[in-house]
């Protein structure tokens, strides 16, 4: 099963980058889920930092974005799902 990280606009970018890096050292893929522009911004910054952590050890990845409908507090929202796969 693919591990999923949920990122909010208030998420600490360095911690998210560390979590992404740790997962990709152990697994071949993960998903990052976001709702809203601020959360997506934090996710992209974290992915850029994580790539900097991983490249020196020979690990690189691709990002495959998609949309996903989810329910939050009884309301349907559109989330961005970023599938991260090791190259």
pLDDT tens digits for the chain (87 residues)? 899 999 999 999 999 999 999 999 999 999 999 999 999 999 999 999 999 999 999 999 999 999 999 888 999 999 999 999 999
Would you say 66 and 40 are in contact if contact means Cβ atoms under 8 Å apart?
A: no
Which SS3 state, helix, strand or coil, does residue 68 take? strand
Count of beta carbons in the 10 Å neighbourhood of residue 27: 13
Helix (H) / strand (E) containing 53? helix 37-54
Set out the domains of the chain in order of their start, with CATH numbers: 3-86 (3.30.110.20)
Q: What pLDDT, on a 0 to 100 scale, did the predictor assign at position 8? A: 96
Q: What pLDDT, on a 0 to 100 scale, did the predictor assign at position 1? A: 82
Q: What predicted TM-score, i.e. pTM, was given to this entire model?
A: 0.93
């Amino acid at each position: 099963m693919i591990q999923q990280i949920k990122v909010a606009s208030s998420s600490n970018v360095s911690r998210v980058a560390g979590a992404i890096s740790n997962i990709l050292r152990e697994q071949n893929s993960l998903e990052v889920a976001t709702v809203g522009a601020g959360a997506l911004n934090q996710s992209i910054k974290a992915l850029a930092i994580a790539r900097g952590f991983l490249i020196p050890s020979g690990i690189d990845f691709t990002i495959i974005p998609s949309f996903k409908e989810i329910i939050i507090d009884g309301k349907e929202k559109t989330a961005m799902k970023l599938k991260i796969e090791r190259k």
